[in-house]
Structure 1
Amino acid sequence: MATTGTGGGTLRITGAHVRFDTTLALDGVDLAVGDGEMVVLLGPSGCGKTTLLRAAAGLQPLDAGRIELDGRDLTGQRPDQRGIGLMFQDEVLFPHFDVEGNVAFGLRMAKVPVAERRRRVAEVLELVGLSGFEGRDVATLSGGEAQRVSLARALAPEPRVLLLDEPFGSLDRLLRERLIDELRPVLDQVGVTAVHVTHDHHEAFALADRIAVMAWGQLLRIGTPDEVWTDPQTSQVARFLGHTNVFDAEVPPVLASAAGRDHGFVLRADRIEVGAADDPGTATGDDRVVQLRAAVARRRFRGDRYELRLEADVGGATTRLDAITPAGPAVGTSVTLRIGPSAAIPLDG
């Protein structure tokens, strides 16, 4: 595989504010992305992810704040002067150009000589696994091939930073998983710094060096995938990351005993032990480990595990709990749950 690119740069966004009429799209966002790092912006639609990306690219002016690349102020510069590439969800290939013409577009705008353009196009097409596709009509490309061409076009001008705005959002799950697996090795080989936007937490965990969770135009939590999963800090972040057993109000004493606090915690679904209804379990010597009766209300098979929705008898009231187990008792089955301190993640608010 060809080696291409000049390496990444350090992107720093400080105090970014953007307002659309009465809507505050960005509310004082601070974000630093290290040289060669991939940060994934994760959050629901309308939280400000794409606005932040467009501001970094120079497509959206800031009302206040500063954007720097390797210490150089980009805030007032045109998009083509920034050294930043952008890849969209829809590949937006030019139908009147073949693959080579699409990939070379940015190079032509920069007035790169023809021989150098052809060399660069061949290099990046090899990088994305499309060597020999130069003459293909873009209308004949599959969805995955079109996205690879779009990536090659974004990489051809050798940007220091690449911004990816939900590039796999319109693809089916199987193709998305394949391209997620392919994307990171390509960007690592180039060495480009990357900021990737998605609302899919599985995609974020698969790609990110660090995940930045956004809501309401603000950054709520940033850290490595392991850090944000095991310490989401708030119920909003916990729910968006995919935790389901989130208790941010007062809870029955039996669950409070297991968690070591009466509110503000998550019970990890993969650490709730599910056994047969008549299974006494294994004694641990820890009186904080609680045992509950429950019924299986829903079962989903996920290939290597089962995701169970359980209705547990907690202090005479029914409480919904989710568990992830290697075995999946049928819907309606009575089971015993064992929950101890290792399942609990404390929340700040």
Structure 2
Amino acid sequence: MATTGTGGGTLRITGAHVHFDSTTALDGVDLAVGDGEMVVLLGPSGCGKTTLLRAAAGLQPLDAGRIELDGRDLTGRRPDQRGIGLMFQDEVLFPHYDVEGNVAFGLRMAKVPLVERRQRVAEVLDLVGLTGFEGRDVATLSGGEAQRVSLARALAPEPRVLLLDEPFGSLDRLLRERLINELRPVLDQVGVTAVHVTHDHHEAFALADRIAVMATGRLMRIGTPEEVWTDPRTAPVARFLGHTNVFDDEVPPVLADAAGRGQAFVLRADRIEVAAADDSRSDTSDGRVVQLPAAVARRRFRGDRYELRLEAEVGGTTTTLDAITPHGPGVGTNVTLSIGPSAVIPLEG
């Protein structure tokens, strides 16, 4: 595989504000992305992540704020003057060009000589695993091939930063997983700095050096995948990341005992132990393990684990808890849950 590219740049967005009539799309966003780093913007539809990407690319003016690449102010510059590439969810290939014509589009706009252009097209097609596809009609490409061509087109002008706006959102799950696995090695080989947008937390965890969780036009939490998962800080972030046992309102006293706190917290589903109803376990070193009777209300097999929905008796009321276990007692089975300090993630407020 060819080695290609000039490396990444440092992207810095400071105080970004964007308003659409009475709607605030970006509300003072600050984001710094290091040279060669991949940051994934994660959040629900309408949270501002695509607006932030478009602003960085120069497709959406800022009402206030500043965008810099390697310390150079890009705020008022046209998209073609920024050194930033953009890959969309839909591959948007030009039907009147073959694969080579599509990949070479940005190079033609930059008036790169023909010989250099063809050499560069060959390099990036090799990089994405499409050597020999230069003459293919884009209408004959599979979904995965079309996305690879789109990636090659974005990389061909050697951008310092690559922005990816949900590039796998329209693909089926199997193809999506395959391309997710292929994308990161390609970007690492090029050394390009990347910002990737998705609403899928599994995709974010698979790709990111750091994850930036967005909601209502703001950055709510940023850190490595491990950091944001084990310390989401707030209940909305915890829920969006996929935590289900989130207690941020009325906390049952028994669970408060297990958590060692009466304030908001998460109980990690993979740290709740599930045993037969007549089993018990000894306390941990600090003596704070709570055991609760429960019944299995739902069981899902996920290949290497079972995801259980449990109805637990907590302080005289029934509370729903989720657990992830290597074994899967059947629906209706009575079990004992053991919840200790290792299951607890404190939340703010």
TM bin (shorter chain): over 0.9
Secondary structure of the 1:32 match is strand
* TM-score, reference length from structure 1: 0.99
Secondary structure of the 1:25 match is strand
The 1-side partners of 2:286 and 2:112 are apart by: 70
Q: Deviations over 1:30-80 (max 9, x none)?
A: 000000000000000000000000000000000000000000000000000
| Aligned 8 A contact 2:213 2:237 in 1 | yes
Q: Which runs of 4+ in 1 moved over 6 A?
A: none
- 1:288 CA displacement: 1.5
Residues 201-216 of structure 1 aligned to structure 2 (within 5 Å)? 201-216=201-216
- 1:263 CA displacement: 2.4
- 1:280 CA displacement: 1.8
Q: Please tell me the residue identity of whatever aligns with 1:13.
A: I
Q: Deviations over 1:143-189 (max 9, x none)?
A: 10000000000000000000000000001111111100000000000
The 2-side partners of 1:174 and 1:340 are apart by: 37
The 1-side partners of 2:283 and 2:198 are apart by: 44
Please, what is the CA RMSD of the aligned residues? 0.7
Q: Deviations over 1:216-259 (max 9, x none)?
A: 00000000001000100000110000000000012111100110
Q: Please tell me the residue identity of whatever aligns with 1:194.
A: A
Q: Please tell me the residue identity of whatever aligns with 1:222.
A: I
- Quick check: 1:145 aligned with 2:109? no
Residues 223-238 of structure 1 aligned to structure 2 (within 5 Å)? 223-238=223-238
- Quick check: 1:106 aligned with 2:106? yes
Look up the match of 1:175. Answer: 175
Look up the match of 1:198. Answer: 198
Structure 1: which 5+ runs fail to align?
none
- 1:292 CA displacement: 0.4
The 2-side partners of 1:33 and 1:295 are apart by: 47
- 1:285 CA displacement: 5.0
Identical pairs, percent: 89
Q: Deviations over 1:166-213 (max 9, x none)?
A: 000001111111100000000000000000000000000000000000
- 1:283 CA displacement: 4.4
- 1:319 CA displacement: 0.3
The 2-side partners of 1:280 and 1:235 are apart by: 31
Secondary structure of the 2:92 match is coil
The 2-side partners of 1:280 and 1:46 are apart by: 47
Q: Please tell me the residue identity of whatever aligns with 1:62.
A: L
- 1:262 CA displacement: 1.0
Look up the match of 2:219. Answer: 219
Q: Please tell me the residue identity of whatever aligns with 1:93.
A: L
- Quick check: 1:258 aligned with 2:250? no
| Aligned 8 A contact 1:279 1:336 in 2 | yes
Look up the match of 1:11. Answer: 11
The 2-side partners of 1:141 and 1:285 are apart by: 60
Q: Bigger CA drift: 186-195 or 281-290? A: 281-290
Look up the match of 1:241. Answer: 241
- Quick check: 1:82 aligned with 2:100? no
Q: Deviations over 1:302-342 (max 9, x none)?
A: 11001100000001100000000001111111110000011
- 1:87 CA displacement: 0.1
| Aligned 8 A contact 2:283 2:289 in 1 | no
Secondary structure of the 1:39 match is strand
Between the two proteins, the alignment pairs up a number of residues equal to 349
The 2-side partners of 1:11 and 1:280 are apart by: 54
Secondary structure of the 2:95 match is coil
Look up the match of 1:36. Answer: 36
- Quick check: 1:121 aligned with 2:121? yes
Q: Please tell me the residue identity of whatever aligns with 1:334.
A: N
- Quick check: 1:272 aligned with 2:272? yes
The 2-side partners of 1:239 and 1:37 are apart by: 26
The 1-side partners of 2:252 and 2:70 are apart by: 52
Secondary structure of the 1:336 match is strand
Q: Deviations over 1:67-111 (max 9, x none)?
A: 000000000000000000000000000111110000000000111
* TM-score, reference length from structure 2: 0.99
Look up the match of 1:287. Answer: 287
| Aligned 8 A contact 1:275 1:281 in 2 | no
| Aligned 8 A contact 1:15 1:30 in 2 | yes
| Aligned 8 A contact 1:14 1:67 in 2 | yes
| Aligned 8 A contact 2:4 2:189 in 1 | yes
Secondary structure of the 1:329 match is coil
The 1-side partners of 2:195 and 2:287 are apart by: 46
